[in-house]
Amino acid sequence: MSQLKNFTKGFIKENPVFVLLLGLCPALGVTTSAFNGLGMGLATTFVLVSSNSVVSLIKNQIPDKVRIPSFIVIIASFVTIVQLVMEAFLPDLFAALGLFIPLIVVNCVVLGRAEAFASKKDFKSSLIDGLGMGLGFAFALTLLGAVRELLGSGAIFGFSFIQGDGMLVFVLAPGAFIGLGYLIALLNMIKKTE
């Protein structure tokens, strides 16, 4: 039951984007479409799961003085793997996400989970925490991207639902702030009714 609680807290109680307000740089920068949000979310999930797992396995071998730099090197290694695989097999997504892929290294969600959770817990708990937080992050980015894409161009994942032009503001940077604000307000309203 405890493992399930660790997994689901990334979706609901401690969602990185909607509750903790962490990782907003990619959340606002790449969510011009649901596909971009999903791609960035899954890339971050891979890095979270992998880095949490490695940190939990070697936490006792890392001296306190170099703990954070060690975590950053571990995270950067997995980000490099994601970047190279994405560039080789998903070049369109790689081009769309651009600079935000290498910025996963300094994403507060990834480094925060390595420091606050994986460095103190066992392998299984760290893996489940990384998966839950990562999928919660992916869910948030995909939802925000879907809302922006639907309102901005009338489509989701490239499937058109609305004929004609959408609201241009949702395709532009201010649309990310507006969309995120409304989604957070909606989720807070839902929490209050429960």
**Residue range 142-155, pLDDT digits in tens:** 999 999 999 998 88
* pLDDT average, residue stretch 104-130: 93
Asked if residues 158 and 45 have their Cβ atoms less than 8 Å apart, the reply is no
pTM score, whole prediction? 0.92
* pLDDT average, residue stretch 21-34: 90
Indicate whether 30 pLDDT > 70.
Answer: yes
Round to whole Å and give the CA distance between 126 and 58: 12
| Per-residue pLDDT tens digits for 58-90 | 999 999 999 999 999 999 999 999 999 999 999
pLDDT mean across residues, the chain:
91
Residue type, 20: L
